[in-house]
Chain A
Amino acid sequence: MNLLEIKNLKMDFGKNAEALRAIDDVSLTIGAGETVCLVGESGCGKTVTALSIARLVPTPPANYVGGEILLNGQDILKMPNGELRNIRGGVVSYVFQEPGAALNPVFRVGNQIKESLKLHKPEKATNEEVIRLLKLVGIPAPESRIRNYPFEMSGGMQQRVMIAMALASEPKLLVADEPTTALDVTIQAQILELLHELKQRLGMAILLITHNLGIVGDMADRVAVMYAGQIVELAPVKELLRQPLHPYTKALMASVPKLRGDADRLSAIPGNVPRIGNFPAGCRFAPRCPMAKPECSEKVPELVEVEAGRWVRCPFWKTS
């Protein structure tokens, strides 16, 4: 049994006539100890999908209209609130993009980590455990750091504290939503190294959301590419990066300048990322797709398993 199984999840914002579909038939599995990257641009639904795993999206305005989210076999969408609180932090932990915003500015860092411990492992809510966690995430001189306020720490340090808070309860799944986007490149390297190391040491699964294909290459075992609320491609990382099958994935990879690449004109994807509520009919990428045919705008293509473990949402994936 997989650790996490999202099956045909559908979620709207708003009701009835005003409903905007944010997550459209998304299916994703994560096995124990596996790292899955969810790639996509702004507005594609990757953040709300990740937040749904612990039912963190407030309902209303969100409205789950179909599918299920099975965490260790239990459906999160049907779970009563009491059990849900145990799951949050206990089985699934989150690390967010802006560490400065995610840490409470009026509490000391040590207290914030202790709060996380008190909720899930009260017998371990001690300063020693906090220091151990800070050491685990690579913060030097942790004994003095536990009395720091967040503003006294740099962005990289704050992110490490967030990771320590997330790890305090020994979760089985760590969901990291663009954890390094707000950080400098050298600090990003540190944080990615840290996540690597923790992955190996603690054997936890990671769902890493990013728009940076380089991070995907570094960290992922498998990759899911999202566009306009749908998963358009799902594959093991090596296969995806070596040979992407969906036109969007291909176009995305071709439009990103690579280090040591040539200086030719980038092949940009024309048009704009469609916003929720304005998704095109049929295949949502068709208006921008170089290979679009008339029938693409008529029917939404199905997500089809074309090889073992490789899924593509495009009937013309063979043409390249």
Chain B
Amino acid sequence: MSLLEVKNLKVHFPVKAGAFSRTHEFVKAVDDVSFAIEPGETLGLVGESGCGKTTLGRAIVRLVEPTAGSVLLDGEDITQMNGSVLRARRRKFQMIFQDPYGSLNPRMTVEQIVGEALDIHQLTDSSAARQKRIAELLKAVGLDPIYAQRYPHEFSGGQRQRIGIARALAVEPQLIICDEPVSALDVSVQAQIINLLRDLQQQHGIAYLFIAHDLAVVEHISRRVMVMYLGKIVEMAEAKTIIREPKHPYTQALISAVPEVDPETKRKRIVLPGDVPSPIHPPPGCPFHPRCPIAEERCKTEVPSLQEISSDHWVACHLAKPN
């Protein structure tokens, strides 16, 4: 059984207009998304701003309420849970955030930040045990425990991310949603955090949903990758497959847009015209068709569904063909 199964998840935000807030329109941030994550695996999620990847991550953790669909964790639907039942289940899934400066309360010490996780779920029974556990967690993320009394402002960005990871680890989760965990870090520090996440996965068998916009990072850390565009998944496959043989025109453009370090590679860069359309008024039919270099008539009216065109390679495009 999969660790996480997302089925037909929709997150629509009402757009209130007018003095008496009649809801006319919706921002379809996440529009009918389904996928699964196996225990201990990393599923990467890429997309550009406005595609809904952050909303998807938050909906899974129920920081944002799903409008429809279900999220099954070990077979239990967490969208139907509330109160203390939900609180207990929260131990199984945690989240790491993007902003190292905003993700830690500036008025709490490291010990209080990590300790809060232990206290909520009463994971230690004496203050000595609590201190010991906090020290263990800090060591596990590469921080010296003597800094437990320090405040966040005394640490660098990379170190703050480590504190955030320690906080998530404290409840011993099986799944961690990583929402752009390295995007705000210096380049030379990103590799440290990526290595740390991989090591923790090997040691504890944690599954990750790794959300990022940097394709190279996502490919490096993930076993499988999903590409999102305007609230929908447009392609999903193994990391190597999706990078080497992308089938969806958006994925192809995304990959070709990444600047290559090697100046010798003269590849034809697919430059997409225009901007990402608004999620309030997505285009009819395939959401990508206005910018798609190979769009046909059919694409303007029919929404393509996610089809498995070869083994474990899913594409939502009318024109995608298997090799």
A266 to B194, CA, bound (A): 8
Q: Does A256 lie within 8 Å of B257, measured CB to CB? A: no
| Complex interface bits, B54-80 against A, C-beta within 8 A gives 1, otherwise 0 | 000000000000000000000000000
Question: How many of chain B's residues have a CB under 8 angstroms from any CB in A?
Answer: 43
Asked if A156 is at the interface of the complex by the 8 Å CB criterion, the answer is yes
Q: Assess A214 versus B272: contact at CB under 8 Å? Given A252-B188, A260-B243, A270-B192.
A: no
The minimal Cβ–Cβ distance linking B228 to chain A, given in whole angstroms, is 12
A193 to B194, CA, bound (A): 31
Q: Does B260 lie within 8 Å of A217, measured CB to CB? A: yes
- B190 contacts across to A, CB distance below 8 A: 255-256
| Complex interface bits, A262-281 against B, C-beta within 8 A gives 1, otherwise 0 | 01011111101101000000
Q: Does B263 lie within 8 Å of A237, measured CB to CB? A: yes
- B221 contacts across to A, CB distance below 8 A: 263
Q: Assess A256 versus B271: contact at CB under 8 Å? Given A184-B48, A184-B49, A185-B213.
A: no
Cβ-closest chain B residue relative to A237: B263
Asked if B275 is at the interface of the complex by the 8 Å CB criterion, the answer is yes
Q: Does B216 lie within 8 Å of A186, measured CB to CB? A: no
- A215 contacts across to B, CB distance below 8 A: 259
- B49 contacts across to A, CB distance below 8 A: 155, 184
Q: Assess A193 versus B269: contact at CB under 8 Å? Given A217-B261, A217-B263.
A: yes
- B191 contacts across to A, CB distance below 8 A: 255-257, 266-269
A155 to B276, CA, bound (A): 10
A188 to B243, CA, bound (A): 19
- B261 contacts across to A, CB distance below 8 A: 213-214, 216-217, 241, 253, 256, 258
Asked if B297 is at the interface of the complex by the 8 Å CB criterion, the answer is no
Q: Does A259 lie within 8 Å of B216, measured CB to CB? A: yes
Asked if A154 is at the interface of the complex by the 8 Å CB criterion, the answer is yes
Q: Does B156 lie within 8 Å of A273, measured CB to CB? A: yes
Asked if B186 is at the interface of the complex by the 8 Å CB criterion, the answer is yes
Q: Does A184 lie within 8 Å of B259, measured CB to CB? A: no
List A residues 135-186 near B (Cβ within 8 Å).
140, 154-157, 184-186
Q: Assess A189 versus B269: contact at CB under 8 Å? Given A184-B276, A258-B261, A266-B194.
A: yes
**In-complex Cβ contact of B48 among A185, A192, A241, A251 (8 A):** A185
- B263 contacts across to A, CB distance below 8 A: 217-218, 237-238, 241
Q: Does B187 lie within 8 Å of A257, measured CB to CB? A: no
**In-complex Cβ contact of B260 among A214, A267, A272 (8 A):** A214
Asked if B215 is at the interface of the complex by the 8 Å CB criterion, the answer is yes
Asked if B255 is at the interface of the complex by the 8 Å CB criterion, the answer is yes
A272 to B186, CA, bound (A): 9
The minimal Cβ–Cβ distance linking B80 to chain A, given in whole angstroms, is 35
Asked if A34 is at the interface of the complex by the 8 Å CB criterion, the answer is no
The minimal Cβ–Cβ distance linking B83 to chain A, given in whole angstroms, is 39
List B residues 177-206 near A (Cβ within 8 Å).
186-192, 194-195, 198
Q: Does A41 lie within 8 Å of B216, measured CB to CB? A: no
Asked if B287 is at the interface of the complex by the 8 Å CB criterion, the answer is no
Cβ-closest chain A residue relative to B257: A189
Question: How many of chain A's residues have a CB under 8 angstroms from any CB in B?
Answer: 47
- A192 contacts across to B, CB distance below 8 A: 259
- B258 contacts across to A, CB distance below 8 A: 185, 214, 259
Q: Does A272 lie within 8 Å of B189, measured CB to CB? A: yes
- A213 contacts across to B, CB distance below 8 A: 261
A4 to B47, CA, bound (A): 40
| Complex interface bits, B203-217 against A, C-beta within 8 A gives 1, otherwise 0 | 000000000010111
Q: Does B244 lie within 8 Å of A260, measured CB to CB? A: yes
A94 to B28, CA, bound (A): 38
A140 to B239, CA, bound (A): 36
Cβ-closest chain B residue relative to A154: B275
**In-complex Cβ contact of A218 among B216, B220, B259 (8 A):** B259
The minimal Cβ–Cβ distance linking B259 to chain A, given in whole angstroms, is 3
The minimal Cβ–Cβ distance linking A129 to chain B, given in whole angstroms, is 25
Q: Does B192 lie within 8 Å of A268, measured CB to CB? A: yes
Asked if B262 is at the interface of the complex by the 8 Å CB criterion, the answer is yes
Asked if A261 is at the interface of the complex by the 8 Å CB criterion, the answer is yes
The minimal Cβ–Cβ distance linking B98 to chain A, given in whole angstroms, is 14
A41 to B186, CA, bound (A): 6
The minimal Cβ–Cβ distance linking B89 to chain A, given in whole angstroms, is 32
A268 to B220, CA, bound (A): 14
A270 to B191, CA, bound (A): 9
Cβ-closest chain A residue relative to B219: A259
Cβ-closest chain B residue relative to A138: B273
Which of B190, B244, B257, B259 has the most C-beta atoms of chain A within 10 angstroms of its own C-beta?
B259
Q: Does A190 lie within 8 Å of B271, measured CB to CB? A: yes
Asked if A297 is at the interface of the complex by the 8 Å CB criterion, the answer is no
- B194 contacts across to A, CB distance below 8 A: 257, 266, 268
Asked if B152 is at the interface of the complex by the 8 Å CB criterion, the answer is no
Asked if A42 is at the interface of the complex by the 8 Å CB criterion, the answer is yes
| Complex interface bits, B233-264 against A, C-beta within 8 A gives 1, otherwise 0 | 00000010001100000000111111111111
A156 to B271, CA, bound (A): 13
A137 to B194, CA, bound (A): 37
Q: Which 10 A-B pairs have the closest CB atoms?
A: A214-B259, A268-B191, A189-B257, A184-B48, A255-B191, A257-B220, A266-B191, A41-B186, A268-B192, A269-B188
15 additional contacts (CB under 8 A) given A185-B258, A270-B192 = A187-B275, A188-B259, A211-B187, A212-B259, A213-B261, A215-B259, A253-B261, A255-B188, A256-B191, A256-B216, A259-B260, A265-B198, A266-B195, A268-B191, A269-B189
Q: What would 20 A/B residue contacts be, using CB atoms closer than 8 Å?
A: A185-B257, A186-B272, A187-B275, A193-B271, A213-B261, A214-B259, A215-B259, A217-B260, A252-B188, A255-B187, A256-B191, A259-B219, A261-B219, A263-B219, A263-B239, A266-B191, A266-B195, A268-B191, A269-B191, A273-B189
Query: Chain A: residues with CB nearer than 8 A to chain B?
Result: 41-42, 140, 154-157, 184-190, 192-193, 211-218, 237-238, 241, 251-253, 255-261, 263, 265-270, 272-273, 275
